[in-house]
Chains A and B, each alone.
Chain A
């Protein structure tokens, strides 16, 4: 088990056309061990940047990040990341892709572990297929298996189902909940799908843009198994939407319902 993730006073900017563009400003966020937090915000508000900083792929300019008490200074096996694109190596079979992060594991155990996680995401029988032979949903399952294989305490998900069709997406969300019940890892997910956010999250972080800040944090007090058709579910969705439309001028129709 890992510990909590603590972000304090995070600031990040990029140089764009030799001008400094503040992307994240004053981000304070604490995510508890085993908690599922979903971040929503319009496109370009710095969600991916925030996840990359937590992953250790980008460095913040100021602010502190601690995971289980230790400062984050680069990528580590305590964190796994799932991107919007599956990012499987086209030249590796699915099994080798899933085993990509298993360099520290004994050679003879790698295939066994990869197979275990492939069966967890229901991809038995595809071990020797190449990514190009898989559908979008199957590729994303393989990417999830790859991220799980290293047994990270924290899973970072950057719009992982954004490119999938509506039905596959719902299937994958159920799958993710099943995995979560199994692994008990902390999940930090970015989405622009409010329905998805309310369906999955313990807490929803609403971000505002330019620069990206935490605008509100909403606790979702719904039962573990959620009914998308219930009145409470709709109430939470409306509550989240309202954050984006309350100042009519700032926000636009960037969200799927």
Chain B
């Protein structure tokens, strides 16, 4: 679809349908409001939370945790992924350890992380780091691996150093795959933050959802879910934009 506003409108059709179905199902009492709160009730709660500023506060607290854990995961995941992708020896050295750690569900880490990092910010950031690290690492490795051997031969012909090989051949070639990892990891880090904020938190969107669920305030739960969805879409759009900026050659095709 060439026309931008039209294409945005088109992607809004399905959400609009879902919301209308939700609205009519609850208004007509086809579904008990205990299972699914009415849309207007959620709307009212949302309006309240926005005007009080509490939801903004919750989202920004969670967001800052995500950004810390995610940034750490990007830094370590991309650099280690690049090293493992370029060197068979590094790959052999780390792969068994990483493959085993990767199998452990992130929630299983929580008790350990609390012991190591306490119940403060650090353990929450650590959960997000652990959750988002592996998708970034794996996609970076596979991107680097898939670098065209023919291009590498050209680099060898010109006796490029290892760093130059990385910068001019491996990295640009791996970028699309790295960005797939970055997007995946971002989605996962929102899942992780809800888990992380089960750890003795008193704020954050994950805490708010858990808290409201315990108090049976379902409209609040839905508000939290909506907030995560909206912020998630925005951050995904930011990464998409960054990936377009980082790979200008992909656009001229």
| B 150-188 to A, binary, CB cutoff 8 A, 1 in contact else 0 | 110110111110001000110011000000000000000
Contacts of A103 in B (CB 8 A): 158-160, 164
Given contacts A103-B164, A132-B249, A132-B253, contact A89 B169 (CB under 8 A): yes
Interchain CB contact under 8 A, A100 and B156: no
Given contacts A89-B168, A91-B172, contact A101 B252 (CB under 8 A): no
For A100, give its contact among B150, B158, B173 (CB under 8 Å).
B158
Quick one: closest A residue to B160, CB to CB?
A: A103
Residue of B with least CB distance to A133? B252
Residue from the list A89, A101, A132, A133 in contact with B151, Cβ < 8 A: A89
A226 to B154, CA, bound (A): 33
CA distance A80 to B159 in the complex (A): 12
Asked whether A77 lies within 8 Å of B159 as measured between CB atoms, the reply is: yes
A90 pairs with B249, CB closer than 8 A: yes
A132 to B253, CA, bound (A): 6
Render B221-253 as a binary contact track against A, CB cut-off 8 A, 1 for contact.
Answer: 000000000000000000000000001110011
Whole-angstrom distance between the alpha carbons of A57 and B156 in the complex? 7
Residues of chain A within 8 A of B153, CB atoms compared: 52, 57, 83, 87
Q: How distant is A104 from chain B, measured CB to nearest CB, in Å?
A: 9
B242 to chain A, nearest CB (A): 16
In the complex, chain B residues whose CB is within 8 Å of the CB of A52: 153
Whether B168 lies near A92 (C-beta < 8 A) is yes
Q: Give CA–CA (A132, B154) in the complex, Å.
A: 18
Shortest Cβ gap from B161 to chain A (Å): 9
Is chain A's interface secondary structure helix, strand, loop, or mixed overall? loop
Q: How many residues of A are counted as interface, with CB atoms below 8 angstroms from the partner's CB atoms? A: 24
Which residue in chain A gives the minimum CB-CB distance to B156? Answer: A75
Q: Which of B151, B157, B248, B249 contacts A75 (CB 8 A)?
A: B157
1/0 per residue, CB under 8 A from A, across B98-125: the answer is 0000000000000000000000000000
The residue among A55, A101, A129, A150 with the most chain B CB atoms within 10 A of its own CB is: A101
Most buried by A among B153, B158, B169: B158
Contacting pair B157 A101 (CB below 8 A) = yes
Q: Mark B126-163, 1 if CB is under 8 A from A, else 0.
A: 00000000000000000000000011011011111000
Contact in complex: B249, A91 (CB < 8 Å) = yes
Question: B159 contacts A83, CB within 8 Å?
Answer: no
Instruction: Report A248 CB to chain B, min CB distance, Å.
Output: 36
**Least Cβ–Cβ distance between B235 and chain A, in angstroms:** 25
**C-alpha spacing A130/B253, complex, angstroms:** 9
Q: Which of B157, B164, B168, B252 contacts A132 (CB 8 A)?
A: B252
Q: How far is the CA of A103 from the CA of B168 in the complex (A)?
A: 12
Distance in angstroms between the alpha carbons of A234 and B164 in the assembled complex? 49
Q: Determine whether the beta carbon of A87 is less than 8 Å from that of B160.
A: no
Q: Which partner residue on chain B sits nearest A52 by CB separation?
A: B153
CB pair B249 A87 closer than 8 Å: no
Known: A87-B151, A103-B164, A133-B252. A81 touches B169 (CB 8 A): no
Closest-by-CB residue of B relative to A143 is B154
A-B contact pairs, 11 of them (CB 8 A): A55-B157, A75-B157, A81-B157, A83-B153, A87-B153, A89-B168, A89-B172, A90-B172, A91-B173, A91-B249, A132-B249
The residues of B with any CB-CB pair to A shorter than 8 Å are 150-151, 153-154, 156-160, 164, 168-169, 172-173, 247-249, 252-253
| Chain A residues proximal to chain B, CB less than 8 Å | 52, 55, 57, 75-77, 79-81, 83, 85, 87, 89-92, 100-101, 103, 129-130, 132-133, 150
